[in-house]
Structure 1
Amino acid sequence: MNLALIPIGRTNKTHGVDGTLRITIEDAFFEDFVAAEVVFLEEGGHPVPFFIDDRWGSGDLFLKLEEIDSKEAARPLTDKVMYLRREDMQHPGGTTEEEPHIFAKWIGYTIIDQTAGPVGVIGSVEELPEQFLAVVEYQGTEVMIPLHEQLISRVDHKKKEVVMDLPEGLLEL
């Protein structure tokens, strides 16, 4: 079974003695996390589902998973990337198929290549079976840029910027 998993944050360390984890969630996925019943953590190179028992906090966030009832049981789950299934993600703002819900929040953000500098503003996002593409006008031509995690260096939601390390020649295609 091939799950479409989206990284939303990470577990940091244990908190207390009852198996609670201190976590970090990307701002863009906070609402999706709050609505989720299941998160996935990688164990042995494979995603493993964990049912959420409770979550709380403002500033520091905490997560209690079902069947994880001690600090010792929680310790192997620390410092892991946390994922949600794509189909479990919410559709904020009533997004449509023309605006895939995962990256629709980035429409209007500026893509900045670490080498070439500003590329352009994301006008729309196209969803293909294997990936999402940002549609950007670059030097008078519409170009499609893969929104792949290996190309994205960071996202600054305050500045509305997506900093990427684009492969050489991609903008000339």
Structure 2
Amino acid sequence: MEVSNHFYIGYISKTRGLKGEVQLFFEFDDYKSLDLDILFLQIDGKLVPYFVRAVNVLPNRTAYLFFDDVDHIDQAQPLVRKRVYLPDSKLPQRGPDDFRLTDLKGYSVTDKNYGPLGEIVEIHQYPQQHVAAVMYKGNEVLFPLADEWILSTDRTNRTIDVNLPDGLIDIYL
């Protein structure tokens, strides 16, 4: 199977116990609404289906899983660090008003003082805050997505206007 018609949800982070249980770390925001009956692990560039026998989703972006036909740590160990996907048909539907900071990826950023900075290439999620990464004059510029620095967002044109603190951009140049 090809990755093209699947979406990435996370990776197998470690084994647990001796009976083949694995821990899945979610990098997908809406992980609690995912249907986890069958997962696709990327092995040697291809997606391999694994049927979930039991799952326990925890509030810390992880889940403990048992797969069919994996009943010993020796069978589970090769799955560690494998990327996990679901088919696009299982992508949870969101309402039109459900907008998240991670949706800003791809938006064009304009600073009040510096003018156009570029497109947000990545949103880093930290426990304290979300941080946007923009390529500006060949350098990666990072800035927190703090309410006091965001002047406006335009979802139609995919733009965001900011007023970053003096000197923040100079650090990266």
TM-score (norm 2): 0.59
Across the two proteins, how many residue pairs are aligned to each other? 135
Tell me, what secondary structure is at the counterpart of 1:134?
A: coil
Verify: 1:135 aligned to 2:103, yes or no: no
Q: Give the 3-state SS of the residue equivalent to 1:24 in structure 2.
A: strand
**Secondary structure at 1:17's aligned position in 2?**
coil
**Contact persistence 1:135–1:142 (CA under 8 A):** no
1:91 to 90, 93, 98: 93
Backbone CA RMSD of aligned residues: 3.5
Shift of 1:142: 8.7
Among candidates 133, 145, 149, match of residue 164 of structure 1? 133
Aligned residue identity for 1:68: V
Instruction: Identify unmatched segments of 5+ residues in structure 2.
Output: 139-173
Letter in 1 for 2:110: Y
CA distance in 2, matches of 1:155, 1:57: 20
Q: Distance in 2 between matches of 1:46 and 1:27?
A: 20
1:153: how far off? Answer: 6.2
CA distance in structure 1 between the aligned counterparts of 2:118 and 2:136, rounded to whole angstroms: 13
TM-score when normalising by structure 1: 0.59
Amino acid at match of 2:10: G
- Per-residue deviation, residues 72-103 of structure 1 (Å, max 9, x unmatched): 111111122222233311113x248xx8xxxx
Which shows bigger deviation, 10-19 or 58-67? 58-67
1:114-162 CA deviation, whole Å, 9 max, x = no partner? xxxxxxxx4xxxxxxxxxx63345147899837xxxx426224752x24
Match of 1:106 in 2: 101
Equivalent residue for 1:20?
21
Q: For the pair shown, which has the larger CA radius of gyration, 1 or 2?
A: 2
Aligned mates of 2:117, 2:134 — CA distance in 1: 16
Structure 1, unaligned runs of 5 or more: 110-121, 123-132
Residue of structure 1 equivalent to 2:30? 29
- Name the % identity: 19
**Matched residue, 2:122:** 152
- Asked whether the 8 Å contact 1:21–1:74 carries over to 2, the reply is yes
Whichever residue aligns with residue 24 of structure 1, its letter is: F
